[in-house]
Structure 1
Amino acid sequence: MTSKTEWPSSLDDRELDELDRYLRAHTGEGDLLLDGVHGLLSALAVGPLLVLPDEWLPEVLHEPFTDKDEGNRVLALLAKLNDSIVAELDVDAYEPILGEVETETGPMLSAAGWCEGFSRGIDLRAGLWEGRLGEDPQLMELLGPVMALAVDEGILSADAEFEKLSDDEYDECLAQLPGVLGAVNQYWLAKPATEAEVEAMVRQQQPAAGDDGNPPRQRSGHWVH
């Protein structure tokens, strides 16, 4: 049995509600809510290369804090959420934070926001992910349930036509997400990005002469071809 000192310190329901309320009050159309932020941080946690907060926070926070104490609290909650994902993966306790949609039969879990965030997390290291996905079918296979959900929700486009997932198929993909994250994490640990891959990514992200110095923001969905 895992001891209390080893068990991850995840956000409790009150903290999740607090962060959810803040994000809902300070986001615009197309910005990530709590489920999307969790998807983003999940992609970064299992990805090929470290992404520091200075790089991912602009994907989450879109306006300056007007209250210093509130700002420090939100940053602390985001840091705890980020740390908890890695800790949960280490002890096979990861669970995605999902949104809900209203249907004729009542509320149902939706992976749309989580998948959007996961896609944006991959976009932050798009060169490494896309290069490896194109070369190694194992990684593509591991990500199958995530891709199926993302295509089903319209987050990613597919070259071929896909039938919508049945409710049972959708639920099965949701149930597989913790295993997918664990497997992808192990994949990158076993097959880390090479120096050549990192150099190629850096060259790809360098701004072209004459632009504003900022590399163009990747649109979500570019990591699958």
Structure 2
Amino acid sequence: MNTSKTDWPSSLDDNELDELDRYLRGHAGDGDLLLDGVHGMLSGLAVGPLHVLPEEWLPEVLHEPFADEEEGNRVLALLAKLNDSISAELDVDAYEPILGEVDTDTGPILSAAGWCEGFSRAIDLRAGLWEKRLADDPQLMELLGPVMALAVDEGVLSAEADFAKLSDDEYDECLAQVPMVLGAVNHYWHEHPATEAELEAEVKPSDEKEEDSSGPPRQRSGHWVH
């Protein structure tokens, strides 16, 4: 990473990222987002079509009561700071996804699975609007191509057609394009905001809950990597 975190006053430093990572790991159940997933979700919300309030996305992150007020204030402050840092990094073209690390026979490798799972949950929070626009405008699907390829490769999303696994080089290439994808999607929604018809079609998460037929996301070992 070439750009110093001191360029963004709202960004978490490594110690704060470690602290938030430890908290999330210590309170995560099966299928719950870890730090990479939280970063993916907040990234998706940052570049999405409509603002999503913390009271909507916090239930995707926090699943247990805090031990005390001090812990609650600290965790919420770290999450707010992480959320603020994403837009700041995008503004100066210095965004990097937080990735998980998976143990393999040949050693640990970076994995976008958690980040992609979080990004998909961000889309789910405004599912009606995203789905309608993706169906109506192939440009948006094209912009999301590298992220969609990673998500399908990692089993986060299912593909309608047969999908060949990405080679290592293809995976790395898609991963390298994630910052550009987010910038392009952010620009897209600014240039083509949601229409009244799309807003009317939008279904709020509290209004409709569907069973997730895809099963829980893959579990990952390792730790956050930035």
Q: Which TM-score applies when normalising by structure 1?
A: 0.89
Counterpart position of 1:210: none
User: Cα offset for 1:31?
Assistant: 0.2
Counterpart position of 1:30: 31
Counterpart position of 1:211: none
Q: Cα 1:98–1:55, aligned 2, differ >3 Å: closer, same or farther? A: same
SS in structure 2 opposite 1:48? coil
Counterpart position of 1:58: 59
SS in structure 1 opposite 2:48? coil
SS in structure 2 opposite 1:51? coil
Deviations 1:64-88 (A, max 9, x none): 1121101100000000000000111
User: Cα offset for 1:165?
Assistant: 0.4
Cα distance in structure 1, aligned partners of 2:106 and 2:27: 31
Counterpart position of 2:135: 134
Deviations 1:155-210 (A, max 9, x none): 00011011100001001111000000000000000000012211111xx4487xxx
SS in structure 1 opposite 2:133? helix
SS in structure 1 opposite 2:189? helix
Q: 1:89 aligned to 2:90?
A: yes
Q: 1:179 aligned to 2:183?
A: no
User: Cα offset for 1:217?
Assistant: 5.1
User: Cα offset for 1:26?
Assistant: 0.5
Cα distance in structure 2, aligned partners of 1:134 and 1:68: 45
Identity %: 80
Cα distance in structure 1, aligned partners of 2:82 and 2:33: 15
Counterpart position of 1:102: 103
User: Cα offset for 1:152?
Assistant: 0.3
Cα distance in structure 2, aligned partners of 1:89 and 1:141: 20
Cα distance in structure 2, aligned partners of 1:94 and 1:220: 33
SS in structure 2 opposite 1:109? strand
The answer on whether the counterparts of 2:8 and 2:85 sit within 8 Å (CA) in structure 1 is no
Q: Cα 1:104–1:6, aligned 2, differ >3 Å: closer, same or farther? A: closer
User: Cα offset for 1:63?
Assistant: 1.0
Cα distance in structure 2, aligned partners of 1:95 and 1:123: 22
Listed as ranges, the matches of 1:60-209 within 5 Å are 60-201=61-202, 204-205=203-204
SS in structure 2 opposite 1:15? helix
User: Cα offset for 1:106?
Assistant: 1.1
Cα distance in structure 1, aligned partners of 2:6 and 2:105: 44
The answer on whether the counterparts of 1:123 and 1:220 sit within 8 Å (CA) in structure 2 is no
Cα distance in structure 2, aligned partners of 1:141 and 1:179: 13
SS in structure 2 opposite 1:102? strand
- With a CA cutoff of 8 Å and minimum separation of 6, indicate the structure with the bigger relative contact order: 2
Q: 1:216 aligned to 2:209?
A: yes
Counterpart position of 2:218: none
The answer on whether the counterparts of 2:125 and 2:205 sit within 8 Å (CA) in structure 1 is no
Name the stretch that deviates more: 173-182 or 103-112.
Answer: 103-112
Cα distance in structure 2, aligned partners of 1:132 and 1:159: 18
Cα distance in structure 1, aligned partners of 2:113 and 2:122: 14
Cα distance in structure 2, aligned partners of 1:30 and 1:44: 20
Give 4+ residue runs of structure 1 displaced > 3 Å after superposition. 4-8, 204-207, 217-221
